[in-house]
A and B are shown apart, each in its own frame.
Chain A
Amino acid sequence: MRPKDESKVLDIVGEFANVGAGNAATALGALLDIEIVNEVTSCNLLPLSKVAGWLGGAEQIVAGVYTQLCGDLRGGVLVILSGDSATSLIHHLTKEKPDLSKLTEIQVSALREIGNICLCWYLVAVSRMIDSDLIPAPPDATVDLLGAVLDLPLAHVGVKVDKVIAVHTVFKSFEKEFDGYFLLLPEEQMLDVILEKMGDGR
Chain B
Amino acid sequence: MKEPELVGIAQMAVTKAPEQICCMGLGSCVAVFLYDPTTKVGGVVHVLLPRAPQGAKVPTKYANTAVGKLLTEVLVKGARKEHLRAKLVGGAQMFPNLSISVSDIGKENCDEAKKALRQLGVRLAAEDILGTRGRSATFDLETGRVSISTAFSNSHFI
B94 near A162 with CB under 8 A, answer no
B134 near A147 with CB under 8 A, answer yes
Q: What separation, in Å, do the CA atoms of A140 and B94 have in the docked complex?
A: 9
Q: What separation, in Å, do the CA atoms of A109 and B100 have in the docked complex?
A: 18
Residues A104-158 near B (CB distance < 8 A)? 137-152, 154-155, 158
Contact with B along A38-82 (1 / 0, CB 8 A): 000000000111111100011101001011101000000000000
How many interface residues does B have (CB within 8 Å)?
36
In the assembled complex, the CB of B120 is this many whole angstroms from the nearest CB of chain A, namely: 24
A142 near B10 with CB under 8 A, answer no
Residues of B within 8 A of A50 (CB): 8
Closest residue on chain B to residue A61 by CB atoms: B151
B105 near A142 with CB under 8 A, answer no
A2 at the interface (CB under 8 A from B): no
Residues B56-76 near A (CB distance < 8 A)? 57-58, 61
From B10, B92, B94, B151, A48 is in contact (CB under 8 Å) with B10
Chain A interface size, as a band, is: 35 or more
Residues of A within 8 A of B48 (CB): 48, 151, 154-155, 158
Residues of B within 8 A of A148 (CB): 25-27, 92, 94, 133-135, 151
In the assembled complex, the CB of A18 is this many whole angstroms from the nearest CB of chain B, namely: 26
A151 near B28 with CB under 8 A, answer yes
Q: What separation, in Å, do the CA atoms of A159 and B48 have in the docked complex?
A: 9
Please list the residues of chain B having a beta carbon within 8 angstroms of any beta carbon in chain A.
8-11, 24-29, 46, 48-49, 53, 57-58, 61, 92, 94-101, 105-106, 132-136, 150-152
List the 9 closest A-B pairs by CB distance, nearest first: A147-B25, A148-B134, A49-B8, A151-B27, A148-B27, A58-B25, A101-B152, A137-B100, A145-B25
16 residue pairs of the A-B complex, CB under 8 angstroms, read A48-B9, A50-B8, A51-B9, A61-B151, A64-B94, A70-B100, A102-B152, A137-B99, A137-B100, A147-B24, A149-B25, A150-B25, A151-B28, A154-B9, A155-B29, A158-B9
